[in-house]
Structure 1
Amino acid sequence: MRRTVRLAAVLGLAGMAVSGVTACQLASSAAPTWYPCQGNGLDPRQECATLSVPLDYDKPDGERISIAVSRIRSAHPEHRRGVLFLVPGGPGSGGLGLPSTWGARLPESVRDEYDLIGFDPRGLGASVEANCHVPKEDLVLERLRPWPDADGGIAGNVEVENRVAAACIRNGGALVRSIGTRTEARDIDRIRESLGENKIAAWGQSYGTYVVSVYATMFADRTDRVLLDSNDDPDPDLIERGWAANYAVAMEDRFPDFARWASSDGNPDRVAETPDAVREEFLTVAARLDRAPLPWPGAELSALSGNGLRQTMLDGLHSDKQFPFLAQLLNAAAGSGTLPAAPPAAPEQTVQRSTAVLIATLCNDVAWPTSVGDYTAAVAADRARFPLTAGMPRGYSPCATWPYPVAPRTLVNSSGPSNVLLVQNLRDPASPYSGALNLRRAFGDRARMVAVDAGGHGAYPSPVACANEAVERFLRDGTRPETDLTCR
């Protein structure tokens, strides 16, 4: 689920690419001291610095930690409006390289308006490192996500998630207890302050839409233009719990796109003759693999189970470009043939950091149910209603045993400037349109929405020209559609 590491949607949540930056020069003063970044595939103009922020904002004079920041300055300072923060998804994805990667998607007319600002959220990348020291075998997505057992039970899920939670409680320390969305919003504001800016524009994607929405709620008068892409439901009583549950809806929204493609005439990876037959084939093969997994050399678990196929589906529906691999795997498994090469595993250190930040955010942001029985019933009902995801979106959470208090509720609302634009695919496989509508309602007259008749996670840039024009016009001169718009 456009990622260099498929971590960002662990436990049913969605995310973006982990930063390609490996290191940057450091500075410790209040105002950044900039140095050339080091890393692969970066724009040579990108600079890096490190800022010092409080570990605990309730103790501003206490322990400090480091946050890595990056920028690409406007090539035409005479046209510069301010700074545009690029806020990554996850939770658990870095953003230090985003001025180079996301910046390349923007037309020059927009890049001239802003210094592009990236950062690695606390716990990730070149920022202070979070690590729960989770057992390596539990870091595999097929286990870390709460996939039910082959028979639909959750005993294995409970065992893994309790082990993961215990590792974070035992090893995460004060840093893991500090991580959460409201804290990230405060870190962003400290970066703003260090840059000497009164206001910031921001572009958040996936989980980044919630981060930016919280920032725009806590610090409304410090926001300029706010662009939110692939939007999360801001329900303050559910947040991440709701996003996890929404995965079942999102997959049902998106799978028909794959089924049409996989049943099209002339497709060398054709699965079946009709979209309905593609769906039936997927469900049949997944059930067969539940009973008898196939050897899969090179895969992290060395075998393809039903949940392994479902996990590949969740990843593969993020972009049409991933359809062929999903179809090839499905066809090979259906015929018990040679499976295609498994995707390479991410470095363990990267996965440990991402997992620590993910678990901390899930558990510190909102309270989760604690009863195993409640999860068992929810999984059974979800499994029957949404067979593609087999009950995983309602599975047992590591947060069920989390002993720390959760952050105060954040009620995203219409108080503040009318400076928000949402852009959203109608068939997003991770952040469904129905949830995005709830964020649109929460912002009220502060916001407009551009809905795009397309599938995939990440609506900008889009294959639909009118969506790109609306986004770029907004970033360039602040103009939004007079009313909500659907681009087809």
Structure 2
Amino acid sequence: MRAARYRRTAPVAAAVTAALLLAGCTSGSGPAGSAAPATSSDAIPNGAAPLQPLPAETPAALAPYYSQKLSWQSCHYEYECTTFKVPLDYDHPGGHDITLAAIRKPASDPAHRLGSLLMNPGGPGGSAIEYVQGSARGIDPGLRASYDLVGLDPRGVGESSPVACLTGPRMDAYAAIDITPDDQGEIDALVAADKEFAAGCQSNSGDLIGHVSTVEAARDMDVLRALVGDPKINYLGKSYGTFLGATYAGLFPSRVGRMVLDGSIDPSLDSRTGNRTQAGGFETAWNAFAADCVKRDDCPVGHTEKEAGEQLDALFKKIDAQPLHTASGRPLTESLATTGVIQAMYAESLWPRLRQALTTARTGDGSDLLNLSDDYYERSGDGSYPNLMFANMAVNCLDLPAPFADPAAVEQAVPDFEQASGHFGRDMAWMALGCAYWPTKATGAPHTIRAAGAAPIVVIGTTRDPATPYAWAKSLAGQLESGRLLTYEGDGHTAYGRHNDCIDAAVNRYLLGGDAPANGTTCAK
């Protein structure tokens, strides 16, 4: 659900970069006990039916997967790594298996160990293995003492049978393609790029791209829960990781332990509505940046918020007509410039870099904006890319039907998107076209998640979150029978472990002692 490019993983600590977006939930049917949205009349918002739980008893066909023995091996100095098998297709287990990879940092106080805390940073496409390595030392000491910190790369991601699509040079071209086409030639070029991306994924990934849904990834999490010996799952998910965690709760409500969902996603939204709403989230974040910028001596975009927006639009228009040159030799196109600005919306700590980047761009040098864009895509200095965006597209296109069938549908929707976001709406409408050419039919649909009978689930929303608008957290918390909404009045993508003692204390108290904050608790900036 949502545009196929604006997604990233969210930080638990400053050592990890800010991040991205989400997808909808998937469904299926079959002898292995697949999950599907119900067709009952008790749906909540938007007419979306609730996700139905799987049978409490593990099907016999899955018993071999649940009875594997993990072999943890020392890796990366203070961590342990392992792999295990899961079926490619849960409807037909015992056939083609795939290998998933996980990492853990053992609890430093084994005598008082509470179990495993599974962590996911979002995406879809963010590596949980890298996330745990990058954030573990910044986690509260009490949590490090009491929990094994565990990262499982979801299927199709990182070290877990990763989806592959384009080479580095072709990904460079894809990232740079014009996503605000002005004529038929530019529309044709964008469609060709989307088709090339989809064909590359199909050619290089085969059947895997039809089995990387969020429902399947949640079922993989339950296999790992059993293999580490935990009767219930303890979980910290951010951004798309909230959708993954909420999906797990919907499928296995009786196996929910202490669950925190930060930067939450609303599974009841169709992909078009989600993309348009997210565009509004980035508009809100830009307005917050502009309000801060114009108070500073080094603001390069004017002296009022209105002037800042006008100058940003003028800069994008200028770059669209003539890309800027950069120190790397790669031209800064309008799409790369927009991605650079978007990257800086994820965290206030990036706002000084954006002021500098806009300053140099206005002099004709696109190097700083290009660096921000490369950070967003996690492009390496050697020109290679991780599989973040490949998995991102594969999961999103499988989890929800495409928002648009063709360019004509996008053109019709552009005014609606621009009403939600004057600066980013057009871009996000056209970015959502990619799934129209995806080779695998979507298996999911919008739905609500009730997770009846689950333990308290803490849902965190940030009022000016760019990538996961606050309204999504309110909706998810309202859908969950045991949802507890925890609000951060502030900026940036996600809240826990970043900059607010009130949020951190509430979450740590819950994860360590089980004392969930009262529903509606608010923490100020």
Q: TM-score, normalised by structure 2?
A: 0.81
Paired position in structure 2 for 1:34: 72
TM-aligned CA distance change 1:269 to 1:386, over 3 Å: closer
TM-aligned CA distance change 1:455 to 1:477, over 3 Å: same
Paired position in structure 1 for 2:195: 162
Paired position in structure 1 for 2:216: 183
CA-CA distance at 1:333 after TM superposition: 2.5
Matched position secondary structure for 2:315: helix
Paired position in structure 1 for 2:47: none
Q: Does 1:433 align with 2:470?
A: yes
CA-CA distance at 1:50 after TM superposition: 0.9
Q: Does 1:58 align with 2:91?
A: yes
For 1:350-429, list aligned pairs within 5 A.
Answer: 351=385, 353-368=387-402, 369-383=404-418, 385-395=420-430, 396-409=432-445, 411-429=448-466
Matched position secondary structure for 2:180: coil
Query: Of the candidates 144, 148, 152, which is equivalent to residue 180 of structure 2?
Result: 148
Paired position in structure 2 for 1:277: 307
For 1:256-405, list aligned pairs within 5 A.
Answer: 256-265=287-296, 267-298=297-328, 302-336=330-364, 339-340=367-368, 342-343=370-371, 345-346=379-380, 351=385, 353-368=387-402, 369-383=404-418, 385-395=420-430, 396-405=432-441
CA-CA distance at 1:350 after TM superposition: 6.4
Matched position secondary structure for 2:522: strand
Contact 1:294 1:303 in 2 (8 A): yes
For 1:52-201, list aligned pairs within 5 A.
Answer: 52-133=85-166, 136-139=169-172, 142-143=175-176, 147-150=179-182, 154-201=187-234
Pairwise CA RMSD: 2.8
AA aligned opposite 1:379: V
More moved, 396-405 vs 190-199: 396-405
Distance 1:250 1:378 in 2: 18
TM-aligned CA distance change 1:338 to 1:233, over 3 Å: closer
Matched position secondary structure for 1:49: strand
Contact 2:237 2:262 in 1 (8 A): yes
Percent of aligned positions that are identical: 26
Q: Does 1:216 align with 2:249?
A: yes
Paired position in structure 2 for 1:486: 522
CA-CA distance at 1:325 after TM superposition: 2.1
CA-CA distance at 1:319 after TM superposition: 1.2
AA aligned opposite 1:82: G
TM-aligned CA distance change 1:348 to 1:370, over 3 Å: farther
Contact 2:199 2:439 in 1 (8 A): no
Distance 2:218 2:249 in 1: 9
Query: Of the candidates 269, 282, 285, which is equivalent to residue 251 of structure 1?
Result: 282
Mind listing any 5+ residue stretches in structure 2 that lack a counterpart? 18-66
Contact 1:83 1:200 in 2 (8 A): yes
Distance 1:138 1:49 in 2: 31
AA aligned opposite 1:287: K
AA aligned opposite 2:438: W
Distance 2:382 2:219 in 1: 29
TM-aligned CA distance change 1:378 to 1:47, over 3 Å: same
Divergent runs of 4+, >6 A:
17-20, 347-350
TM-aligned CA distance change 1:141 to 1:243, over 3 Å: farther
CA-CA distance at 1:428 after TM superposition: 0.7
Query: Of the candidates 2, 9, 12, which is equivalent to residue 15 of structure 1?
Result: 9
Matched position secondary structure for 1:422: strand
Distance 2:511 2:504 in 1: 11
Matched position secondary structure for 1:201: strand
CA-CA distance at 1:241 after TM superposition: 4.5
Residues 409-432 of structure 1, C-alpha deviation per residue, up to 9 Å, x if partnerless?
Answer: 453115122420012211111111
TM-aligned CA distance change 1:131 to 1:290, over 3 Å: same
Contact 2:484 2:517 in 1 (8 A): yes
Contact 1:92 1:358 in 2 (8 A): yes
Contact 1:14 1:89 in 2 (8 A): yes
CA-CA distance at 1:336 after TM superposition: 3.1
TM-aligned CA distance change 1:421 to 1:349, over 3 Å: farther
Distance 2:318 2:369 in 1: 21
AA aligned opposite 1:181: T
Paired position in structure 1 for 2:42: none
TM-aligned CA distance change 1:427 to 1:401, over 3 Å: same
CA-CA distance at 1:206 after TM superposition: 0.5
Distance 1:217 1:325 in 2: 40
Paired position in structure 1 for 2:24: none
Distance 1:431 1:393 in 2: 14
Residues 48-81 of structure 1, C-alpha deviation per residue, up to 9 Å, x if partnerless?
Answer: 0111111111121112211111111111122212
Q: Does 1:442 align with 2:436?
A: no
CA-CA distance at 1:104 after TM superposition: 2.3
Contact 1:139 1:352 in 2 (8 A): no
TM-aligned CA distance change 1:201 to 1:208, over 3 Å: same
CA-CA distance at 1:346 after TM superposition: 2.6
Contact 1:12 1:245 in 2 (8 A): no
For 1:451-466, list aligned pairs within 5 A.
Answer: 451-466=487-502
More moved, 433-442 vs 154-163: 154-163
Contact 2:256 2:455 in 1 (8 A): no
CA-CA distance at 1:106 after TM superposition: 2.3
Distance 1:271 1:138 in 2: 31
Matched position secondary structure for 2:129: coil
TM-aligned CA distance change 1:14 to 1:436, over 3 Å: farther
CA-CA distance at 1:156 after TM superposition: 3.1
AA aligned opposite 1:263: V
Distance 2:287 2:136 in 1: 32
CA-CA distance at 1:244 after TM superposition: 2.7
More moved, 449-458 vs 354-363: 354-363
Paired position in structure 2 for 1:4: none
Distance 2:382 2:272 in 1: 26
Mind listing any 5+ residue stretches in structure 1 that lack a counterpart? 1-7, 21-28, 39-43
Residues 435-462 of structure 1, C-alpha deviation per residue, up to 9 Å, x if partnerless?
Answer: 222212211x411111111111121124
Contact 1:134 1:352 in 2 (8 A): no
Distance 1:361 1:327 in 2: 34
Distance 1:67 1:339 in 2: 38
TM-aligned CA distance change 1:46 to 1:55, over 3 Å: same
Contact 1:110 1:472 in 2 (8 A): yes
TM-aligned CA distance change 1:338 to 1:477, over 3 Å: closer
Residues 363-390 of structure 1, C-alpha deviation per residue, up to 9 Å, x if partnerless?
Answer: 1111113233111211244235522114
